[in-house]
Amino acid sequence: MKEVDARGYSCPMPVIMVQKEVKAGAPAELDVLVDEKCAVENVTRFAESQGYTVTWEAKDDDFTVHLRK
């Protein structure tokens, strides 16, 4: 499974990083690490527009967004 570590980046960079990964190989599963709730919402919106099912979980100050097809 692929993982994108977008912690420390402000929007729209996390979404751009996910876009690159999706365009590069359209992975069936992708985990995205972010540290802002806004990034969770924006990555979720993009991923759902690409046909992914999205779940997320919070741990300390970080979030893991799970994308699945």
Active site residues: 11
Question: C-alpha 17: how far from its chain's center?
Answer: 8
| Cα within 13 Å of Cα(25), Cβ side | 9
Helix (H) or strand (E) holding 56: strand 53-59
